[in-house]
Amino acid sequence: MVAVLFWVAIAILGFVVEMHTNAFIGVFVGFAAALAFVVALSGFGFVVQAIVWLVVSALAIGAIRPLALRRFRNRHSELDMSRPTDTSMNDLRGVVELVVGDVDHPGKVRIQGESWRAVTDWPSEIPDGTPVVVKKAYGTTLWVDPT
């Protein structure tokens, strides 16, 4: 009976760990513990249960995990922060708070009551108080043009 509770606890722990990490290992450890639970209910000794758990965990992590990671990591829905993104900030208007220059000389703009880091492609800096419009974003840096 103790072994059955042990495998239930390991299975639950594996799934809880998986929810809080992105390692994609806990699910396989939890699944293997569920199989060891079934073996325990069948009356096999703890050594056999542990061997089933270890073998199934190792096989699943070694064989299934790489395939699953490749499948989930190649999703097109992930954002590539190295490219400009279309955001809800595009086309919003604001005012320069701190002179906005190129990427080496970022400034600040106020849009809808919030201050944002901003840069521009314009050949000259945009001075304080100039109205601007958001053209694109890289992460939390806005690219603005004077209006």
DSSP 82-140: TS-B--TTTT-EEEEEE-B-STTS-EEEEETTEEEEEE--SSSPBPTT-EEEEEEEETT
pLDDT single digits (tens) 111-132 = 999 999 999 999 999 999 999 9
Which residue type, as a one-letter code, is found at position 120? T
Token pair, residue 27, equals 């699910």
Burial class of residue 44 (count of CB atoms within 10 Å of its CB; 0-12, 13-18, 19+): middle
**Domain range summary for the chain, segments of one domain joined by +:** 2-73, 93-146
Homologous superfamily of the 93-146 domain (CATH): Nucleic acid-binding proteins (2.40.50.140)
Global pTM reads 0.49
pLDDT single digits (tens) 73-121 = 655 544 454 566 667 788 999 999 999 999 899 999 999 999 999 999 9
Give residue 81's pLDDT. 47
Alpha-carbon distance 41 to 28, whole Å? 20
